[in-house]
Structure 1
């Protein structure tokens, strides 16, 4: 069993922990958040030694700005979807889907090696966590979402793609995710949304 924990370090861009036998950190927020994240781990009763993975939902500065510093502190691998993984390594914001423009291109970040490149849905059992990562393109081509076994799923900016990305692709991903056990979608910006509400949106669109 695993649970999704909101670190509550930043109300603007949320950082989550997936805690099972071991722990994964989902996103790192803007630059300078690494100390806040380490403090939030302690306050949640999670030892740094139990963390063995950092998951980045997509390569935008407000989701990976503290990645380089946090990885250096924890010495754990990074997981990201392709091709966002390549942007992470270069320290560049990936393009928003259906747009050639970079996201806040003047707010780049320090490049970081990505050891685990996701090209399809993947279990986190090998990392000691009863959880699953979905490939969910739409906001960016390489966006991913992380589902804890409690049914809560950290989705980054995936839902924003309904309006700015590839709506048809996102609808297919939403159906896949709900069938795969997602009961609540937890975006990085804004309030959580129950799967039932998402189903109503799909039916009305």
Structure 2
């Protein structure tokens, strides 16, 4: 029997990375460029050495989630995994144009575009398709496509009932309640992906910004 799954958020300014540990340790999302030290320091505080990291998993290819992927790969030697529909973002180190899905997205868009859209490029070792099993990396979980925010957005479904959804779900301003993302390539696909997550009846939903939220909090989305 595998040990309990631990999910440890790492606050990186307004973005979150996650250290997930069971029999092995993986890192989910990496923040902006230069955040690798903060993530590794957080891992060290949990007794996780760089060589203990088995996988670097990206929920999507935006710079505030993939920005330190190359730096972490260099420090840990762990492979980087991304969905095939966001892989080109990594290869070019360019997240592309953000598409506002609400007024907040239009207002904040300039803060996340321009230079923020670019980050150190890398060629991912693992390009995921329909689903991806994390058990070979020591974590009882599955990565599933949840497109909408970007075409290649994914979520991590963990056996204990927790879900890491990246930017599929945002935290509203100023109420800090779960809401639809401020930017989305396809808002209809976002709603379908959230419905998929709701069907899983998650215990806790970990988001790319703000959170976490109890699973029941996303029922109205």
Is TM more than 0.5 here?
yes
Relative to structure 1, the CA distance from residue 94 to residue 127 in structure 2 (aligned partners, 3 Å threshold; closer, same or farther) is farther
1:38 to 32, 40, 58: 40
Corresponding residue SS for 1:176: helix
In structure 1, the residue matched to 2:203 is 183
Relative to structure 1, the CA distance from residue 127 to residue 97 in structure 2 (aligned partners, 3 Å threshold; closer, same or farther) is farther
In structure 2, the residue matched to 1:93 is 95
2:8 aligned with 1:5: yes
The 5 Å alignment of 1:3-152 reads: 3-8=6-11, 10-96=12-98, 104-107=113-116, 108-152=118-162
Q: Distance in 1 between matches of 2:201 and 2:53?
A: 24
For residues 78-106 of structure 1, the C-alpha deviation after alignment (integer angstroms, 9 at most, x for no partner) is 1111221111111111444689x996143
TM-score, normalising length: structure 1? 0.86
Q: CA deviation at 1:7?
A: 2.4
Q: CA deviation at 1:14?
A: 0.8
Q: Distance in 2 between matches of 1:123 and 1:66?
A: 23
Q: Distance in 2 between matches of 1:170 and 1:134?
A: 14
Q: CA deviation at 1:164?
A: 3.5
The 5 Å alignment of 1:187-202 reads: 187-199=207-219, 201-202=220-221
Q: Distance in 2 between matches of 1:87 and 1:164?
A: 16
For residues 159-197 of structure 1, the C-alpha deviation after alignment (integer angstroms, 9 at most, x for no partner) is 145553233322322232233352222112122222212
Relative to structure 1, the CA distance from residue 97 to residue 128 in structure 2 (aligned partners, 3 Å threshold; closer, same or farther) is farther
RMSD (Å), alpha carbons: 2.3
Relative to structure 1, the CA distance from residue 106 to residue 7 in structure 2 (aligned partners, 3 Å threshold; closer, same or farther) is closer
Relative to structure 1, the CA distance from residue 12 to residue 163 in structure 2 (aligned partners, 3 Å threshold; closer, same or farther) is closer
Aligned partners of 2:198 and 2:218 also within 8 Å: no
Corresponding residue SS for 1:182: coil
Q: Quick check: 56-65 or 103-112, which moved more?
A: 103-112
Query: Which ranges of structure 1 fall in alignment gaps of 5 or more residues?
Result: none
For residues 95-149 of structure 1, the C-alpha deviation after alignment (integer angstroms, 9 at most, x for no partner) is 44689x9961432111011111122122211222111212111111111122333
Corresponding residue SS for 2:169: helix
